[in-house]
Amino acid sequence: MNKTSKALVVLSGGQDSTTCLFWALREFGAANVEAVTFDYGQRHRIELDAARKVAELAGVRQTLLPIDTFAAIGGNALTDDSIAPEQGARDDGDSTIPNTFVPGRNLIFLSFAAAFAYGRGIEHVVTGVAQTDYSGYPDCRENTLKALELALRLGMDSRVTLHTPLMFMSKAETVQLAQEVGAMDAMAWSHTCYNGAVPPCGHCAACELRAKGFAEAGVADPLVVRCGGH
Q: Is 204 annotated as a binding residue?
A: yes
The residue range of the domain holding 29 is 7-226
Report d(CA 126, CA 8) in Å as an integer.
6
pLDDT in tens, 196-219: 889 999 988 889 999 999 999 999
Q: Is 207 annotated as a binding residue?
A: yes
Question: Residues near 93 by Cβ (< 8 Å), separated by ≥ 6?
Answer: none
Is residue 52 one of the residues assigned to a domain? yes
Is residue 170 one of the residues assigned to a domain? yes
* Residue 90: pLDDT over 60: no
Q: Is 62 annotated as a binding residue?
A: no
Q: Which of 171, 203, 201, 169 is nearest to 187 (CA)?
A: 171
pLDDT of residue 35: 98
pLDDT of residue 181: 98
Of 105 and 134, the one with more pLDDT: 105
Q: Is 95 annotated as a binding residue?
A: no
Q: Is 19 annotated as a binding residue?
A: yes
Q: Is 227 annotated as a binding residue?
A: no
* Residue 4: pLDDT over 90: no
* Residue 56: pLDDT over 80: yes
DSSP letter string, 162-209: EE-TTTT--HHHHHHHHHHTT-HHHHTT----TT--SS--S-BHHHHH
Looking at residue 76, what DSSP letter applies?
S
Is residue 210 one of the residues assigned to a domain? yes
* Cα pseudo-dihedral 37, 41, 43, 48, rounded to 10: 30
Is residue 11 one of the residues assigned to a domain? yes
pLDDT of residue 13: 95
Average pLDDT over all residues of the chain: 86
DSSP letter string, 88-140: SPPPTT--SPPTT--TTHHHHHHHHHHHHHHTTT--EEE----SSSS-S-GGG
CATH number at residue 168: 3.40.50.620
Structurally, the chain folds into a number of domains equal to 1
Q: Is 12 annotated as a binding residue?
A: yes
Across the range 175-181, mean pLDDT stands at: 98
Least confident of 75-84, 114-123, 212-221: 75-84
Reported as half-sphere exposure (CB side, CA atoms, 13 A), residue 191 has a value of: 24
Q: Is 18 annotated as a binding residue?
A: yes
What pTM did the predictor assign? Answer: 0.88
Is residue 2 one of the residues assigned to a domain? no
Across the range 18-27, mean pLDDT stands at: 98
Q: Is 82 annotated as a binding residue?
A: no
pLDDT classification of 82: cutoffs 50, 70, 90 = very low
Is residue 49 one of the residues assigned to a domain? yes
Q: Is 155 annotated as a binding residue?
A: no
- CB-based contact 211:221 (threshold 8 Å): yes
Looking at residue 8, what DSSP letter applies?
E
Is residue 111 one of the residues assigned to a domain? yes
Q: Please state whether 43 falls in left (phi above 0), alpha (psi between -120 and 50) or beta.
A: alpha
b/e sequence 32-67, b meaning 16+ C-beta within 10 Å: bbbbbbbebbbbbebbbebbbbbbebbebebeeeee
Report d(CA 222, CA 213) in Å as an integer.
13
Across the range 25-54, mean pLDDT stands at: 91
Is residue 135 one of the residues assigned to a domain? yes
Q: Is 21 annotated as a binding residue?
A: yes
